[in-house]
Amino acid sequence: MTIEDVVNELQEQLGSFAAIFQRNQKRVYVDVPPEQTLQANRYVFETMKGRLATATGRDTPERIEVLYHYCFDSLGIVVTVRTWALKPDCELESVATIFPGANFIEREIYDLLGVKFLNHPDPRRLILSDDWPEGVHPLRNDSPIRRARNETQEFMRAITDEVTTP
């Protein structure tokens, strides 16, 4: 199988609701609306035997995108299934109901970005400390922590300017 075969197969099976985009010789993106995310993930994982490497998240002004990266090791390509969760609710179907390997990574995305996964078998926070306040998601662009970081950068810039200018 080559990457063209993979793209064709994805186009046949998922093309009715998904947008397939091949970026280069190794990367394929599949954009799926949130209602069909379970179907797309199930297809890539079970039928095409992709290996879930990790899942990442992206914070954009209207929605939070969640990307699941599947590796096909024998072909050397990565297929990314991209779904999104609209703000302000930020809810998405959990892929952990299909296979348990996605359990921890979805807990981490919930913890850091605030995407609530529906029907998740174990919806707890994962990596933030025990005394972290509820509801504060540090990797969101509008979180107060990030504002403090920008303020620190301006502060650091100011004091280096002070030191260098005579």
State the residues that interact with another protein by CB under 8 A.
128-132, 138-139, 143, 145, 148-149, 152-153
Measured from the CB of residue 87, what is the shortest distance to another protein in angstroms?
20
Helix (H, G, I), strand (E, B) or coil at 56: strand
Q: How many residues does the chain have?
A: 166
- Cα–Cα distances (Å) from 15 to 32, 62, 71, in that order, read 10, 25, 20
- Cα–Cα distances (Å) from 22 to 26, 51, 71, in that order, read 8, 19, 15
Q: Return the number of the residue (51 or 157) whose C-beta is nearest another protein.
A: 157
Measured from the CB of residue 110, what is the shortest distance to another protein in angstroms?
16
Strand positions, DSSP E, 23-89: 27-31, 51-59, 63-72, 77-86
What pairs with residue 67 in β-bridges? 56, 82
Measured from the CB of residue 112, what is the shortest distance to another protein in angstroms?
9
Q: Return the number of the residue (82 or 107) whose C-beta is nearest another protein.
A: 107
Q: Return the number of the residue (19 or 136) whose C-beta is nearest another protein.
A: 136
Measured from the CB of residue 153, what is the shortest distance to another protein in angstroms?
7
Q: Return the number of the residue (25 or 129) whose C-beta is nearest another protein.
A: 129
Q: Return the number of the residue (123 or 138) whose C-beta is nearest another protein.
A: 138
Residues in CB range of 126: below 8 A, 6 or more apart? 104, 107, 108, 110, 111
Sheet of strand 63-72, all strands in order from the earlier edge strand to the far edge:
19-22, 27-31, 77-86, 63-72, 51-59
Measured from the CB of residue 142, what is the shortest distance to another protein in angstroms?
14
